[in-house]
Amino acid sequence: MQDTDKTNADSSNESTTETQAANDIIHRFIFDKTDIRGEIVTLQNSFSQAYEHQSFHKSLRPVFGEFLAGAALLSEVLKFEGTLTLQAKGEGPVNFIMAEATDKGDVRGIIRILDAHDRVRDFHNTDLQELLGNGIITITIDPVKGQRYQGIVPIDAPNLAQCLEHYFAQSEQLPTDISLFANEEYCGGLFLQCLPAQEITSAEERAEKWETAQHLAATVSADELFGLNNTDLLYRLFHEMECRVFEPKHISFNCSCTRERSKNAIQSIGKAEAQSLLQERNVIQIDCQFCGQQYSFGESDLADIFPDESETLH
Ligand SMILES: [Zn+2]
């Protein structure tokens, strides 16, 4: 990770960036001589590609967007090789929302709605507690190397940002400020965190810097986040705090589904169940819920999936 000169943010040309903001990008930043770090992300193409394959009314896009942006921010905070998943489960009309982000900048997500009528209706109230009811949010970290980690936080606030702030307050005990914004076209967010004392040891001075950073972050609007380049917005918000911005990372919609994984899914339901499915429809079709890719398996595939018992398939 390379440092970019902080003059990078100063040299913005607002007349062009106002109309042509670059999206699908995440930036990490720090405030010099403080222990505060941050991140900023805006998604547009990756967001639309992610919801394209989901069947829900466009009134739910902002909620879905908040999960995507939240996953992208958290995967970057944790700086590990692997996948971070945010998963909300409840018993409301929307019973499942999931968003994943990898260290490579790939994002994808799912919303599951049980009642067909609810899939096409306009949700005027997109309060998370209304949509999901009494539910929980699980944060899962699946590193390529090492142990899987899971943290759980109740859905005890009307939006994802507040639930995640509660999570950080309880589990990490690091002051954390998360703002998530989304509409039908864009989603994004701003993340600030105060790390354990290194640069500043005076508790009073730490609190003062944190308060200033939080106060400045609170002035951000959705229009600014979606209309300005990240670096321009960071300069506009934090120019009084010596904000050092790191090299950006591109975010794109990418699905990790494969034919091989679908085979594993068939294997997990067992031979008898797979056989009866095959008899019903002559083919077993598995549709990826993230990207809509269809994988079809016939009799010879089943013989391949259950090799030991292949002779009984005929
Ligand atoms: Zn897929």
Confidence of residue 1 (pLDDT cuts 50, 70, 90): very low
* Mean pLDDT of the residues in the chain: 90
Residues 6 or more apart in contact with residue 300 via CB below 8 angstroms: none
Q: What pLDDT score was predicted for residue 77?
A: 86
Using the mean position of ligand 1's atoms as its centre, give its distance from the Cα of residue 244 in Å: 37
Structure tokens at 93: 């009309």
CA of 3 to the centre of ligand 1 (A): 35
CA of 241 to the centre of ligand 1 (A): 42
174 CA distance to ligand 1 centroid (A)?
35
106: CA distance to ligand 1 center in Å?
12
Instruction: State which fold the 18-253 domain adopts.
Output: Hsp33 domain (3.55.30)
pTM of the full structure = 0.88
> Which CA distances in Å does 125 have to 89, 93, 121, 162, 212?
18, 12, 12, 17, 33
Q: How far apart are CA 296 and CA 276, in angstroms?
A: 15
* Whether 252 contacts 106, CB under 8 Å: yes
CATH number attached to the domain at 259-313: 3.90.1280.10
The pLDDT assigned to 18 comes to: 42
DSSP characters over 255-300:
----HHHHHHHHHHH-HHHHHHHHHHHSSEEEE-TTT--EEEE-HH
Domain boundaries, the chain: 18-253, 259-313
Note the pLDDT tens digit of each residue in 220-278.
999 999 999 999 999 999 999 999 999 999 999 999 999 999 999 999 999 999 999 99
Distance from residue 66's CA to the centre of ligand 1 (Å): 21
Query: Ligand 1: distance of its center to the CA of 276 in Å?
Result: 25
Give the Å distance between the CA of 107 and the centre of ligand 1: 11
108 CA to centre of ligand 1 in angstroms: 9
Tell me the CA–centroid distance for residue 295 and ligand 1, in Å.
10
Residue 20: what pLDDT? 58
Cα 206 to middle of ligand 1, angstroms: 45
Amino acid at 65: G
Separation between Cα atoms, residue 55 and residue 163, nearest integer Å:
25
Instruction: State the distance from the centre of ligand 1 to the C-alpha of 264, rounded, in angstroms.
Output: 14
Q: How far is the CA of 49 from the centre of ligand 1 (A)?
A: 12
Q: So what's the pLDDT on residue 22?
A: 86
Please report where in the chains the tokens 């990756």 appear, as a residue: 46
Residue 138's nearest CA partner among 98, 95, 176, 80 is: 98
Distance between Cα 288 and ligand 1 center (Å): 5
Chain centre to alpha carbon of residue 147: 21
- CA of residue 171 to ligand 1 center, whole Å: 32
Predicted confidence band of residue 68 (pLDDT cuts 50, 70, 90)? very high
Number of helices followed by number of strands (H, E) in the chain: 13, 14
Q: How far apart are CA 58 and CA 266, in angstroms?
A: 33
Confidence band, pLDDT 50/70/90 cuts, at residue 308: confident
**What DSSP state is assigned to residue 218?**
T
298 CA to middle of ligand 1, Å? 20
13 — pLDDT class (breaks 50, 70, 90): very low
The string of DSSP letters for 131-186 reads HH-S-EEEEEEEESSS--EEEEEE--SSSHHHHHHHHIIIII---EEEEEEE-SS-
Ligand 1 center to 272 CA (angstroms): 26
Mean pLDDT of 50-69: 96
Cα separation of 81 and 60, whole Å? Answer: 30
| Residue, of 260 and 312, whose pLDDT is higher | 260
Token look-up 């009866």 returns: 276
**How many Å lie between the centroid of ligand 1 and the Cα of residue 179?**
29
Q: Answer whether 137's CB lies under 8 Å from 153's CB.
A: yes
Please give the distance, rounded to the nearest whole angstrom, from the Cα atom of residue 289 to the centre of ligand 1: 7
Gap from CA of 254 to ligand 1 centroid (Å): 8
Q: Across the strands, what pairs with 87? A: 98, 138
Query: Nearest 10 degrees: CA dihedral of 18, 66, 115, 265?
Result: 110
Which tokens is 33 given?
A: 């001589």
Task: Judge if 18-253 and 259-313 fold alike in CATH terms.
Answer: no
Q: Is the pLDDT of residue 14 over 90?
A: no
Interval 104-141: pLDDT, tens: 999 999 999 989 999 999 998 999 999 999 899 999 99
Q: What pLDDT was estimated at residue 11? A: 40
Cα(256) to centroid(ligand 1), Å? 6
CA 92 to centroid of ligand 1, rounded, Å: 26
Residue 307's pLDDT band (boundaries 50, 70, 90)?
A: confident
Averaged pLDDT for residues 159-171 = 93
